[in-house]
Structure 1
Amino acid sequence: MESLHKNKTWDLVKLPKGKKTVRCKWVFKKKEGTPGVEELRYKARLVAKGYSQIPGVDFTDVFSPVVKHSSIRALLGIVAMHDLELEQLDVKTAFLHRELKEDIYMQQPEGFTVSEKEDYVCLLKKSLYSLKQSPRQWYKRFDSFMTSHDFKRSSFDSCVYFKKNSDGSFVYLLLYVDDMLIAVKDKGEIRKVKAQLSEEFEMKDLGPTKKILGMEILRDRKASKLYLSQKGYIEKVLCRFNMQSAKPVSTPLAAHFRLSTALSPQSDDEIEYMSHVLYSSVVGSLMYAMVCSRPDLSYAASAFGRTEDGVIRYVDADFAGDLDRRRSLTVALSTTEAEYMSIAEACKEAIWLKGLFSELNEDLQISTIFCES
């Protein structure tokens, strides 16, 4: 509530005739801290029930970009190659930094109804969390700030910013909602960027980057190497689905494994039992690990979810892998055609990555692609 009042998030007014209110609720969360930087914290956040907003009345455009995981890995590669400093910042209550264009009325938050104004409502002035337009409003505010301070927005990823200094060195900044990474050769330049950001937004300095989006970052600066690990994330997933005692195997999934409707629940009892199994959550957890740092899970995630990134690529494809329908969004007449379709996708990603590296002042000459057949 202190942050909400500090940012002057709303005014208490009488609800105009013909207007409807958006409801709100408190969300409580235990947030893990960053080792050596901050301890575990318990947070309470007031969120609007954005699902009750009316399109065209309460909001229009809602799209807001976030940095691609490929871009994060690309920057980490540059950091390791040139031994750059890599630090992390967090914007406190990021969404409250942008004015709302629409008139949105919200019920007073539970437990904080103003005495003698119980029938008043909150006329929102700032983009409260969980409003449909809040992420977009915040991104537009941050983008405007960055471009006004001589940073250029990447043409290949709208959440990658870079600036060339007079001495020829570069400053790189990546944004994922309210988390950001800053990479630069000189620590003094990092302090300068932090000072500029702190003048405009309320920031939390997390120091040298140790973890971002569930990926732990380990550096061996003498050997110019950087490692990504998701050990903590994977252990948490195993605990969530009661598999912490599961037996490890050397391969994620046997090559002959196939799913078919014959394996689906048939009887009413089986259907009822499976309705309580968090199957989609398991597949989603697998896919996130795959996207971040575990390409070896690709086949397993594809098989269960019914499909990487770098200069050197390994691609694979199947042909008529769906036992029941053998259907695909793209029709391949042979296993060979299925393979070169997957190669084409890898080539498109490689071309995009080459463009990103070029913008970031890195010359990527050749992309090697490995495939089957």
Structure 2
Amino acid sequence: MGFQKQIGRGWGCGEKQGKTCCQGFCQKEGIDYEETFAPVARLEAICILLAFVALKGFKLFQMDVKSAFLNGFIEEEVYIRQPPGFEHPKFPNQVFKLQKALYGLKQAPRAWYERLWKFLVDQGFQMGSVDKTLFLLKHGKDLLIVQIYMDDIIFGGSSHALCSKFFEQMSREFEMSMMGELQFFLGLQIRQTPQGTFVHQSKYMRDLLRKFEMAYALPQMTPMSTSTALDADEDGKEVDQKVYRGMIGSLLYLTPTRPDIQFVVDLCARVPRESHRTAVKRILRYIKFTPEFGLWYYADSSLSLLGFSDSDHAGCRIDRRSTFGTCQFLGTSVVSWSSRKKSSVATSTCEAEYVAAASCCSQILWMLATLRDYGLTYGRIPILCDSSSAISVAKNPVLHSRTKHINVRYHFLRDNYQKGMIDIVKVASENQVADILTKPLDLETFARLRGKGSGR
């Protein structure tokens, strides 16, 4: 910090949880800061990393940077008032000019990330071409992988000596705390064993049931009955929206390890009525029945890539829009999934299935680019679809006269098929894993598809 004459744009300075923190909130974009956001790892990137290291037999470790935002250098001119009790006796009316970031500055996350990635690149790491929070270091035949999520850093590799050297380098540059083997990250509980890696949120599930007084409720074997039809229910009894939103938000926090409830949680999040609260309680009762469920990434699996896509045409009873679901597998375990209602009404089943396959293709292409950073290459990636008409449209460009109603932007599915990036393959409806993300299913079908999705 350097002294400057007092100016009008002053900032306060206080203490927050032992960290120096700016107060005042008077920064203006283009004057005090240009960019505020730092890239953070996507959930899919974390799952890909867990699946990869499980197969390779690596052990993941975790470390935390103490007061991470205080390490970043800022480029803009920012001034703060002298903290109370620390005024300079000769210059009590002047201010400090910041050279490094403080907690509370809008550009602090960006400044910290730039400081970190420059340090890692100087140490010989290669940044991921797509995932900018992934860094890899190759040393002969050994590989070290580092994944960044703000001030949380997970790393692992084929050489224990390489991991120890990395921690020593980070400790010399930053104030670090080594947290040992990766066990808890972003709310996920992670158990690493010789058989593979298990990711779950069992503690959070138990706390969730106690929070909403469902710990002693009667368990249910499925999250939603096939006879349940949620609509607007305009004549239904209104519910406390604050409590209802809290229930939905808590369940959404659970979906990173529970794709089996993704569809029903999204469905219940649309309109809050008494019937919807009853449906939400059914989900909680299902969680009571399956408190230890999670995702398995097996050590004896493969790194083959596979996608599933499905759509429930006009499945929404409110606006008749289609719900499509996609999931992508690395080996035998799911690493990415999506359940989404289309923004417009599909005029045919073919269109709904084609749009779902296009969404799956988009995610596959992102995963291919990410896996390329790990040194993995693939040929045609199969996307399993149970619609013969959608497969025909993707493979036959001559059918354009009968597909004019399909938005042009979805035809990149056909383009990537012709380029040899993906292949559209017919799958029997009873083996369509993405079905679990589009509609409520009977117990037998639900349990069978859930087992495939969890890697069992």
Indicate the TM-score class for this superposition, using the shorter chain for normalisation.
0.7 to 0.9
User: d(CA) in 2 for partners of 1:336 and 1:298?
Assistant: 24
Match of 1:127, SS? coil
Match of 1:316, SS? strand
TM-score calculated relative to the size of structure 1: 0.78
Report if the CA contact (8 A) 1:53-1:59 is conserved.
yes
Report if the CA contact (8 A) 2:19-2:67 is conserved.
no
Match of 1:3 in 2: none
Match of 1:178 in 2: 151
Match of 1:140 in 2: 114
Match of 1:160 in 2: 134
Match of 2:311, SS? coil
Match of 1:33 in 2: none
AA paired with 1:15?
Q
Match of 2:230 in 1: 258
Match of 1:353 in 2: 367
- Residue from 19, 36, 57 that aligns with 2:9: 19
Report if the CA contact (8 A) 2:73-2:112 is conserved.
no
Q: Percent identity?
A: 29
Match of 2:243, SS? coil
Report if the CA contact (8 A) 1:65-1:159 is conserved.
yes
Report if the CA contact (8 A) 2:314-2:345 is conserved.
no
The 5 A counterparts of 1:179-198 are 179-198=152-171
Match of 1:289, SS? coil
TM-score calculated relative to the size of structure 2: 0.65
AA paired with 2:313?
F
Taking a change above 3 Å as real, the CA distance of residues 106 and 150 of structure 1, as seen in their structure-2 partners, is same
User: d(CA) in 1 for partners of 2:305 and 2:110?
Assistant: 32
Determine whether 1:311 maps to 2:311.
Answer: no
AA paired with 1:311?
L
Shift, 1:241, TM fit: 4.0
User: d(CA) in 2 for partners of 1:253 and 1:15?
Assistant: 63
The 5 A counterparts of 1:22-171 are 23=12, 43-49=17-23, 51-106=25-80, 113-114=85-86, 123-166=97-140, 168-171=141-144
Shift, 1:231, TM fit: 1.0
Report if the CA contact (8 A) 2:102-2:108 is conserved.
yes
Report if the CA contact (8 A) 2:73-2:115 is conserved.
no
Match of 1:277, SS? helix
Match of 1:79, SS? helix
Match of 2:419 in 1: none
Shift, 1:364, TM fit: 4.2
User: d(CA) in 2 for partners of 1:277 and 1:305?
Assistant: 12
Determine whether 1:228 maps to 2:199.
Answer: yes
Taking a change above 3 Å as real, the CA distance of residues 46 and 235 of structure 1, as seen in their structure-2 partners, is farther
AA paired with 1:194?
F
Taking a change above 3 Å as real, the CA distance of residues 137 and 345 of structure 1, as seen in their structure-2 partners, is same
- Residue from 160, 184, 188 that aligns with 1:211: 184
1:145-167 alpha-carbon deviations (Å, 9 max, x no partner): 1111111111120000112112x
User: d(CA) in 2 for partners of 1:54 and 1:240?
Assistant: 41
Report if the CA contact (8 A) 1:50-1:131 is conserved.
no
Higher mean C-alpha displacement, 122-131 vs 207-216 = 122-131
Shift, 1:371, TM fit: 4.5
User: d(CA) in 2 for partners of 1:25 and 1:366?
Assistant: 57
- Residue from 262, 265, 278 that aligns with 1:298: 262
Taking a change above 3 Å as real, the CA distance of residues 239 and 171 of structure 1, as seen in their structure-2 partners, is same
Match of 1:56, SS? coil
- Residue from 279, 287, 303 that aligns with 2:252: 287
Report if the CA contact (8 A) 1:84-1:183 is conserved.
yes
Match of 1:171, SS? strand
Taking a change above 3 Å as real, the CA distance of residues 78 and 240 of structure 1, as seen in their structure-2 partners, is same
User: d(CA) in 2 for partners of 1:88 and 1:303?
Assistant: 36
Taking a change above 3 Å as real, the CA distance of residues 55 and 146 of structure 1, as seen in their structure-2 partners, is same
Shift, 1:79, TM fit: 1.1
AA paired with 1:212?
F
User: d(CA) in 2 for partners of 1:157 and 1:120?
Assistant: 43
Higher Rg of the two aligned structures:
2
User: d(CA) in 2 for partners of 1:294 and 1:313?
Assistant: 18
1:332-368 alpha-carbon deviations (Å, 9 max, x no partner): 2123321221221112112221222122023445644
Gap regions ≥5 residues in structure 2? 271-294, 298-303, 322-341, 388-456
